[in-house]
Amino acid sequence: MFKKVLIANRGEIAVRIERGLRELGVASAAVYSDADRDSLHVRLADEAYRLGPAPSSESYLRIDKILEAAERSGAEAVHPGYGFLAENADFARACADAGLVFIGPPPEVVHLMGNKVEARAVAERAGVPTVPGTGALTSVDDALKKAPGVGFPLLVKATAGGGGKGMRLVSTLEELSSAFEQASSEAQASFSNPSVFLEKFIERPRHIEFQIVADQNGNTVHLLERECSVQRRHQKLIEEAPSPFVDDALRRRMGDAAVALAREAGYVNAGTVEFLVDAKRNFFFLEMNARLQVEHPVTELVTGWDLVRLQLQIASGEGLPFEQSDVVARGWAMEFRVTAEDPFQNFTPSAGRIRFLRAAEGPGIRNDSGVYAGFEVTPHYDPLIAKLVIAGDDRMHCLSRARRAIREYQVDGIATTLPFFERMLADERFIAGDVDVSFVDRHWMSEIAVRPSERRSELLTVALAAAAAEDGSRRTTRRGPKAKASAWKQMGLREQVGNRL
């Protein structure tokens, strides 16, 4: 096992990796931008190194600065987390050239699976069903010629990257030219690669993915599936394991397909094979994420296997400590991505200082967070601030425990997605597991968000304002009439508001 690992990331995932390293007795070296100088991942690390100014292009995306920090720290390996450089083949190769172990797949595999067209070819060689589509396109004219063969509606998609960037839905041939230009331009801006391809649009599919792990000895297994259909504009919001839609027969077929694809690609370490599944349980390969996923905790809770620990063990040369027959689901788990966004304002980012924070606690609750009360959430990075992960004996138990946890979770100072989760947990369709990737976009602003319901944030704002006014009237002139209510009074008001919901 390594003696020291540098974490080339920030936020909750850096904290998660630091904790995994500490359990193994491995020292952690963090990196940070000027905006993250006081971040939790910096505070918890054994040592930390400045990268540069706040913009990620000048800090977390600077391969040279990260390698310099690794050299200064004496780290033997680099964990990329997710996002930033996690799926950058040049970074993986640069680590190897610098004598560092990249905790992930080999550079050539990162490159192979990072290109959606090449990844599709790997899937086809492995006998895995793929969505009808084209190879990489060289021009608009090329797209216009090949689109009728794919059929409408279709998607114009970037060959690199993910997260819905560089993607446009096209319903008619007349829309294709502008969609092609927009997707290509966005792909260039997001991934420095303007290449796009066409893919048949499957209406209202489910997004179901399989976690795989593979050691350096050729052993590859899957750790069951995750349901990721609750998403907005291709950004996941709620994930769960297992899927309420997948039966045993489909689980075997999809699991076998995921393992076959990983073996065909020569995959090593942890990765995820993503599928689209239609109402008739036909599944199609979507892409492979050559890294640790944001939603990995739900897999850990239902299988009992620590994925970060497995990543470190595999990267250090150890074999998998289990076989496929050892993987069994126990109970149910759900992850709620708590982001600094206002769900009532079209999920607009909400930067600012967190004035008060009380995470949910109790049986079956895990909170993976990178923030604390007093932390300044900036607009420079992804708005994810925490992941609330719930475990239960079964799905109904998990749902009831999640409702309790969401009501307990308090964040003041910024808007978050917590009210969105409250409403989803009360929606009969979500409770029944009747969702697809377009569910939120179809129903949220037009229906769920405007249901009559007391909003905790509104009640708390009114209560605190009234308390501040009352206290202000009692203050002496020296202290001023605008003094805030005491911390004890604020806490009491929060409890009262919680009890009224």
Average pLDDT value for residue range 300-320: 98
How far apart are alpha carbons 100 and 15 in whole angstroms?
21
In sequence order, what are the beta bridge partners of 338? 386
Pull the structure tokens for residue 52: 């540069």
pLDDT given at position 501:
44
State the chain's mean pLDDT as an integer. Answer: 91
Q: Name the band, by pLDDT with cuts 50, 70 and 90, for residue 208.
A: very high
DSSP secondary structure code for residue 131 in this structure: -
Q: Name the band, by pLDDT with cuts 50, 70 and 90, for residue 482.
A: very low
341 close to 350: Cβ distance less than 8 angstroms = yes
How far apart are alpha carbons 139 and 5 in whole angstroms?
44
Phi, psi angles (nearest 5°) of residue 311: -60, -45
Reply yes or no on whether the pLDDT at 5 is more than 60: yes
pLDDT given at position 500:
41
State the fold for domain 4-103. Answer: Rossmann fold (3.40.50)
Q: Name the band, by pLDDT with cuts 50, 70 and 90, for residue 478.
A: very low
User: For 46, left (φ over 0), alpha (ψ -120 to 50), or beta?
Assistant: alpha
State the fold for domain 132-200. Answer: Dna Ligase; domain 1 (3.30.1490)
Helix, strand or coil, per DSSP, at residue 92: helix
Q: Name the band, by pLDDT with cuts 50, 70 and 90, for residue 452.
A: very low
Total-model pTM:
0.85
Residue 455 falls in the annotated catalytic set: no
pLDDT given at position 138:
82
Peptide bond into 297 cis (omega under 30): no
pLDDT given at position 14:
98
DSSP string across 215-275: -TTS-EEEEEEEEEEEEETTEEEEEEES-SS--HHHHHHHHHHHHHHHHHHT--EEEEEEE
Helix, strand or coil, per DSSP, at residue 2: coil
Average pLDDT value for residue range 304-328: 97
Average pLDDT value for residue range 90-106: 98
pLDDT given at position 493:
56
Closest among 291, 284, 273, 164 to 226, alpha carbons compared: 273
Helix, strand or coil, per DSSP, at residue 181: helix
Residue 205: CA atoms inside 13 Å, Cβ hemisphere, count? 20
Helix, strand or coil, per DSSP, at residue 59: coil
pLDDT given at position 233:
86
The gap from C-alpha 405 to its chain's centroid, in whole angstroms, comes to 20
Handedness of CA 268, 272, 274, 277 (dihedral sign): positive
More confident residue, 138 or 442: 442
- Domain layout of the chain by residue ranges: 4-103, 132-200, 204-330, 340-453, 456-500
Give the active site residue among 62, 226, 291, 494: 291
pLDDT given at position 476:
36
Evaluate whether the domain defined by 340-453 bears CATH number 3.30.70.100: no
More confident residue, 379 or 501: 379
Q: Name the band, by pLDDT with cuts 50, 70 and 90, for residue 457.
A: low
Helix, strand or coil, per DSSP, at residue 28: strand
Average pLDDT value for residue range 450-458: 53
State the fold for domain 204-330. Answer: D-amino Acid Aminotransferase; Chain A, domain 1 (3.30.470)
Topology agreement, domain 204-330 and domain 340-453:
yes
How would you write 96-117 as a 3-class SS string?
HHCCCEECCCCHHHHHHHHCHH
Q: Name 282's Cβ contacts closer than 8 Å, sequence gap at least 6.
A: 129
In sequence order, what are the beta bridge partners of 411? 357
252-292 pLDDT per residue, tens: 999 999 999 999 999 999 999 999 999 999 999 999 999 99
